[in-house]
Chain A
Amino acid sequence: MSTDDRKPKRKTPQPGPMNTITTTSSSNQSGSNDFVKKLFLMLEEDSYKDIVRWTHTGDSFVVLNTNEFTKEILPRHFKHSNFASFVRQLNKYDFHKVKISNEERATYPYGDDTWEFKHPDFRQNDRESLDNIKRKGPTSKKATPGASSASATTSQVINGVDAAALARCNHNYTQMLTSQNQLKDQMESLRQENKQLQQEINILTRKYKTLVENIVAINTVDERSHRSMGILVNCLIQAGIKIPPLDFPPPQSLQGEVNNSEFGSSLPSLSSHLLNHNTSPQQALPPGAAPPNALPQHPQQSILPPHLANPPPPPPPHLQPAIQLPQPPTNGNQPPYIAATPTAQAIPSPGAIPQMQGPAMVPQPQAVPQPPQQQVPPISAATAPNATATTANPVAVATSISRLASSQEGSKSHSQTTSTSASPLVPGAGGLPLAVPGPTEVSATTTTVPNAKFHVLLVEDDNVCIQLCRKFLVKYGCQVTVVTDGLNAISTVEHTKYDLVLMDIVMPNLDGATATSVIRSFDTKTPIIAMTGNIEDNDLVTYLQNGMSDILAKPFTKDDLYSILAKHLLTDKSEGAAVSTGLSESALKGAIKSEDDQIVKKPRLI
């Protein structure tokens, strides 16, 4: 009994707390969606119609003045004055804000800053449907079935269950947060790693490029020293000096030892001759000098004086790119000579040695009053100590001049003088009997064509393609030089001005794309055409980024090739014409051309 008695007792006081729960927290039992009911009542109030009211259709309501609504009505009906929580409540009961598009807005009767809300069961004069409006979300499921029997205990249970669920949710949430953070960290570290790798790749690429450039430069220098050495040996033979049989070493080991041992004894006498030349060249002309060498003296005599009188002209700005490349090794190679010749002035005898190494590299203090600059030497070598140069190493001079002159195309008259003075030397060079193979001889072959209109460099490693392509080119009227890898392509282009370069991509030693990008660092004009079987979009973009002027897809027909030739050789010509300023320029160009042809072919003999 006592228990029976207690139960109703317990029950009776309950409605109080329970009601507070339902009213304050607008609890979610099916019948007690008080919030909705209160909302409905609020809308019945006629005095609010300027602030909040049903719309005309009666299936939605609109808050006309949110300020007034928040300040006046919300506290009265919902015991708070927070519009945002009012909207939140609406959303919980599945009310939706009615979106008004911009077009509709123009004819919308309730003004701009209004909020219209809608629920399918929330209609004017339809109190019954209100019961269908339920609170959304998981908590609504926890509602105890019988509202009448609801008690503090049950509501506590509900709260307990809620709390447990909440705790679980919280737990899951924190777990998710941690894993999310971990992922974020991982992503961040990956990103950084990626960045580092990217940087490393960039550095490596830069280093690789520099290395390639240096290798090319070293090759160039080696080749030149080797050639000069040959010329010197030749001169000595011609001068009647007996030279022991030479085991001419490969270019790498050539410097230094050859100089000091084999040549050491014979040099002083020769260079004293050479020094005399500076003052009175004709008298001191060595009797043993080869006739071809002697001949060019005359044109030179007439031309040189102005140069000697004037301080050497400042190097034209575009000279720099041409010389830029071989410089680092130049510096590296010079020391042995400098050690042998502390100053050219103080010890006259070894004066010829620097000449031999290549006039482009060694400053001539006598001739150059300015502090020696890297760019000055070629000019001084070509002008002031010319007598020395002509006898000692005509080809080296010619080479350096051609380099100089070709880089000076379109510059002032002095370059013309030098080149005209230099060009007669070349036959002499060709006539020299000495046969020391040049380093690039093996790799480059030139097909000469009488009256060649253009000079084309073909860079290709496939014999069949070489033969075929060369045939087509020759038929087109081109003189063709062939090299078979990227490294040789760079050094060859560096030496000689070509009208066009045909560049294969896949090659041993250095691929065509890289070679092109290196060439572009000192020559931006010569058209370089990529010949490739890979004509996917990505590749094409890469090629063009590397500085290729155009792309010729392999295999190509004669007409394909010719149309590319026509396109680039013509534009090249017209550009050249536009750049050149006078008649002398074309003459100069011709001179250079004939010279270059010689250089490409003849040095192979030396």
Chain B
Amino acid sequence: MSRPELQAPPEIYYGDVEAKKYTNNTRVQQIQADMTYRALELLNLPPDQPAFLLDIGCGSGLSGEILDEEGYHWVGCDIAPSMLEVALEREVEGDLFLQDIGQGFGFRPGSFDGAISISVIQWLLNAETSHPTSSPPHRLTRFFTTLHAALKNPSRAVLQFYPSSDDQIQLITSIAMKAGFGGGIVVDYPNSKKAKKVYLCLFVGGGGGAQQQLPKGLEGDEEAEARAQFEKRRERLRSREKSGKRKNIKDRDWILKKKEVSMILSRL
């Protein structure tokens, strides 16, 4: 099946039926949750300081629910009214906006401590009309410049998206840099077809002595880790394996006994 963003504009594609289907699909829920946790990790917010975040393309609030659970205050925006309606039904805590991110934001400078976006910005790559303000570079420029202004210094924006070519990554990254952002692309599980995820990890400020550094993508193979996992959880698992509390069942005595049994059997 072709990619959703090639079929119709988002506010049409995610109509009433598709919005419900999307939100109730447990596989979608799981993937969205994993990516939200990973995005929060990449956001690298200072601990024990309650943050005010922007969820770009919040949809039906799948990521917003996680922001609620983690104790963040947030504002979400989406262009699909049906998705926002589902978000209302699910009673998320954040304030919701009906907004086309390609038209830019009107937030005052320095309003947010960070921004996340899960599976959204690939939608900005399709022109819906021939009007000049409808061209992808124009919309991306509007989006990134107004987003940059709305974030405080220093902070980060982490945007997971599904590029369909390297040219798209190049276009998006170059416009983000022109809007004043630092940072770049982080790829998790680059060698896995299924688990591979692309995050645009953008920095606002942070110059001088404490230069912000681009985090590393997660690695590993797809069989061992079919889906992206939260890094802390992974470390916990690994340390449990290392501590080796479980005794090996097939120890020396077991092998000797097994040999003896087979000897007896062969003599019969």
Partners in one complex: no
Interface residues in chain B, defined as those with a beta carbon under 8 Å from any beta carbon in chain A: none
